[in-house]
């Protein structure tokens, strides 16, 4: 009888040990799991973008006369030693490690435009979805330098994204009528991003640009 009475308590202790081990394993898994891939702020929906485009009257694109990137001051300090570029690199990467000056020294970045993955921050540019020169031709030439600085460092709208450097350089200051990400799966998102940024900042669109955006968004 005494032996029989002890059996449940033995099993209870074993179950407790197993439960503790399982909980520890789960906690360890959570701690060691890689960080989720981050991304720019979610843009407006395709329906909202289409709705806005329906109200847009195309305008001829302005001139680049007088344009200079220095008229759009960037990158500005966001917090401590971190500027806008470093903030976007940390946001858009996985397992990003920075040094005391906030420079990214390791991590992994997936470039949505072309599907490439990079492990060195030097291989990435921070793209202005609506390029600075495009903004200038679309109305920003009349803005104050302070407003242009806000535009160039806008972390609230989907205006900044870490992408393969030479892809960004190939894009240059082209609008969606002349350039789109080679990764077709991202084109709907890109069009939504573009429309939201232009809508928020009150920038105009030319006919080719609007037509391209309508065509993309109609397929989303």
Q: What is the predicted pLDDT for the residue at 200?
A: 98
Dihedral over alpha carbons 93, 98, 104, 108 (to 10 degrees): -30
Q: How confident is the model at residue 111 (pLDDT cuts 50, 70, 90)?
A: very high
Bigger pLDDT: 8 vs 205: 205
Q: Give DSSP secondary structure letters for the chain.
A: -HHHHHHHHHHHHHHHHHHHHHHHHHHHHHHHSPPPP--SPPPPPHHHHHHHHTT---------TT--GGGS--PPEEETTEEHHHHHHHHHEEEEEE-TT--EEEEEEE-TTT--EES-GGGEEEEESS-HHHHHHTTGGGS-HHHHHHHHT-TTTTTEEEEEHHHHHHHTT--TTT---S-GGGHHHHHHHHHHHHHHHT----HHHHHHHHHHHHT-
Q: Per residue in 162-187, is it b (16+ CB within 10 Å) or e — as a string?
A: bbbbebbeebebebbbebbbebeebb
pLDDT over 70 percentage in the chain: 83
Residue 88: pLDDT above 80?
yes
Residue 30's pLDDT is 30
**Mean predicted confidence (pLDDT) in 176-199:** 98
Q: What is the mean pLDDT of residues 197-208?
A: 98
Residues whose CB is less than 8 angstroms from the CB of residue 174 and which lie 6 or more positions away in sequence, other chains included: 131, 134
The tens digit of pLDDT for each residue in 115-164 reads: 999 999 999 999 999 999 999 999 999 999 999 999 999 999 999 999 99
pTM of the prediction? Answer: 0.83
Q: Is residue 14's pLDDT more than 60?
A: no
Mean pLDDT across the chain? 87
Taking 70 as the threshold, does the pLDDT of residue 72 lie above it? Answer: yes
Does 24 have pLDDT greater than 60? no
Reported confidence tier of residue 20, pLDDT bands at 50, 70, 90: very low
| Residue 38, pLDDT score | 62
């Amino acid at each position: 009888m005494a032996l029989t009475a002890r059996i449940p308590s033995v099993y209870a202790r074993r179950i407790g040990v197993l439960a503790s081990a399982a909980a520890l394993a789960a906690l360890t898994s959570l701690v060691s799991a890689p960080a989720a891939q981050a991304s720019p702020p979610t843009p407006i929906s395709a329906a909202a973008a289409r709705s806005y485009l329906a109200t847009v009257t195309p305008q001829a694109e302005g001139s680049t006369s007088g344009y200079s990137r220095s008229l759009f001051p960037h990158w500005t300090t966001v917090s401590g030693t971190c500027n806008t570029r470093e903030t976007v690199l940390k946001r858009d990467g996985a397992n990003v490690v920075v040094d005391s000056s906030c420079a990214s020294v390791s991590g992994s970045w997936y470039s949505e435009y072309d599907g490439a993955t990079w492990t060195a921050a030097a291989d990435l540019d921070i793209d202005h979805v609506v390029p600075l020169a495009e903004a200038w031709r679309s109305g920003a030439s009349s803005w104050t330098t302070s407003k242009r600085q806000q535009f160039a460092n806008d972390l609230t709208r989907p205006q900044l994204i870490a992408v393969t450097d030479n892809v960004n350089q190939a894009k240059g200051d082209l609008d969606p009528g002349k350039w789109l990400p080679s990764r077709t799966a991202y084109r709907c998102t890109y069009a939504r991003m573009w429309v939201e940024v232009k809508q928020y900042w009150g920038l105009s669109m030319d006919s080719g640009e609007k037509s391209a955006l309508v065509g993309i968004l109609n397929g989303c």
